[in-house]
Chain A
Amino acid sequence: MTVLNRERNEEALAAAGEVLRSRSLTQLAIARFLRNRVAVGATLIVAVMILMATFAPLFELMTGYEMDFQDRNFYSGKAPDWDAKHYFGTDQNGRDIFVRTMFGMRISMLVALVAASVALVIGVSYGAISGLAGGLTDTIMMRILDLLISYPLTLIAVIALAYFGRNIFIVFIIIGLVEWQIMARVIRGQVISLRNSDFIEAARAAGVRPIGILVRHIVPNVTGVAIVYMTLIIPEVILVESFLGYLGLGVQEPNTSLGVLISEGANAIERKPWMTYGPGMFLVVLLLALNFVGDGLRDAFDPKDR
């Protein structure tokens, strides 16, 4: 008869412990994300597009960005021609649209990064302060937010751009300034539910300082949600920039963005319809892929789906 003793139990548990590595919530979320094939595929697409935008000058070497002065139809632009390596055709100035699209993506992605970061910083601080303060402060901050949400923000962006001039970084920051509100709402809700949770009270009962509670207990539990909403804000930011570019308020020549390229194509759509195809396709694929990545992250971080 086998006698189970404490020592042998502990040996067995120690051996099992080496095999069964413990996994944190973040590791579990990553594992869940990797199981989501659509999200993983979308992540790969976004990664490829980021690489293409990063190495845009290489495409310039490959296809020739310079204007083709020998061509008699120089000003009319050319339809897509794979033999001439003009994959998306050329525009009315004879510039290769594929290369222009790669350079346009650079600006669109830069906008996404800068504006979404601005939105993240403002949204998280505003939401966290509002949620933690509670009471009258919370009420006033939320009513101000309601007021801002009820304004057409693109209009504010247009007015601000007309006032401050069309510097590219002003464009980025203004877009960030108009896109933070939903982030603030979401973070405030999270902070309020965390503030009333048992483990925060346990930390208070243990004697942790308020700043320690914020840093060690609230921030780590909010980051997941903040990252998810940031990926959902990015497509919106790209879209707003494209809209501003379409109105002629975005970046200035010779810089370009996906929105500016589509706008140029739209102006010539009767005679040179191909000018919108390439940039339009890239914009749609980029936005869709980013949305799928955001959805995948949201599902992965959802604690209800463990």
Chain B
Amino acid sequence: MSDRDTILSVENLSVHFRLGGGVFSRASIVRAVENVSFALQRGETLSIVGESGSGKSTLARAVLRLVAITKGSVILNGENLAQLSNNEVRKRRQNMQMVFQDPIASLSPRRTVEQIIAEPLMVHQPELSGEERSAKVRDTMDAIGLLPDMRNRYPHEFSGGQAQRIGIARALIVEPTLLVADEPVSALDVSIQAQVLNLLSDIKRQRSLSLLFISHDLSVVQHVSDRLLVLYLGHVMEVGAAKDIYANPQHPYTKALLSAVPTIDFSANKPKRTRLTGELPSPTVEHVGCPFASRCPMAQAICNEQKPQLNTVEGRDVACHFPG
């Protein structure tokens, strides 16, 4: 693909939070995202996976500048969001929309479905008349599979799957180029998950939308992703084509993650699970070496001394001293 089709390009992005720090105590710094780079093409789905606390959601929010960016740049359609003022970022939000994890909590409880879906329109296309706005809401609802007579109902009257469709309709009504979906199906029943995932991939195809898909569920990710980015403690472990990584993971952390996916396989040669011991280390520590070294089954002395850089191994980028 040519460079012109790059919708989003993230370069050396870091997000740090100050924790505590009053008059009598020193603040500690949580390094939620550390030096992450990736690019997203038009019509492509990039999935970000990792366990709880790996910085997936923070990365997603930093891309949309919903949290402050500490270092690095986020270039959307050729503009660096990190350097724009809050008000200018607000105007760019038409191009970047988000779908949230908890579908019902992400809808304002005292507003009707129509008011909720129309809200981004009121901000970004204030010139529309009330009728034009209603027509657009109806069109979008129809495309998402919501019945028009749901317009005047309230969020508490809907099931999780329907509420998530409302959330998707709200995100799509301004026709963004980038859609960030933060665990859009993890709060839904499995049967509903499939419906919502199919809906997302249909829409993505029809509108050549770029999708940044955050999940901790690798079996969900497998269905939707073109490319995969594995995050651990805010560091990129492995990034590349989803097919390649699923077929042949190179980073020991990716291997452990993939082996943890439940499978229905009763044969004798079922691959053995790689069990990780210990907990995720505190994100307040700055790592000299590899952040995964404390739990890695293959760790050597060098892993604690030198941070591995991303190197191309078997067609994808891996940050490990001993890939394979």
Contact = CB atoms under 8 A, between A and B. Distances in A.
Interface of A: 10, 13-14, 17, 22-26, 197-199, 201-209, 212, 216-217, 220-221, 303, 306
Contacts of B84: none
B195 interface: no
A206 B100 contact: no
Nearest to A204: B66
Given A22-B152, A22-B154, A203 B119 contact: yes
A202 B90 contact: no
A203 to B, nearest CB: 7
Contact of A207 (B105, B106, B120): B120
Given A199-B105, A205-B66, A207-B93, A25 B123 contact: no
A207 B156 contact: no
List 8 A-B pairs, minimum CB-CB distance, nearest first: A207-B93, A198-B106, A198-B105, A206-B120, A22-B153, A205-B98, A17-B149, A199-B108
20 contacts: A10-B147, A13-B147, A22-B153, A24-B112, A198-B101, A198-B105, A199-B105, A202-B98, A203-B108, A205-B64, A205-B93, A206-B170, A207-B94, A207-B123, A207-B124, A208-B119, A208-B123, A216-B119, A221-B109, A221-B110
B272 interface: no
A207 B90 contact: yes
Interface in B101-152: 101-102, 105-112, 119-120, 123-124, 147, 149, 152
Contact of B106 (A22, A202, A208, A306): A202
B119 A199 contact: no
A185 to B, nearest CB: 21
A202 B170 contact: yes
B161 interface: no
Contacts of B93: 205-207
A290 to B, nearest CB: 26
A18 B91 CA distance: 40
B279 interface: no
Contacts of B101: 198
Contacts of A17: 149
Nearest to A200: B108
Nearest to B124: A207
Contacts of B154: 22-25
A76 B134 CA distance: 75
A198 B102 CA distance: 8
A248 to B, nearest CB: 47
A197 B105 contact: yes
Interface in B66-117: 66, 90-91, 93-94, 97-98, 100-102, 105-112
A26 B156 CA distance: 12
Contact of B97 (A205, A216, A217, A303): A205
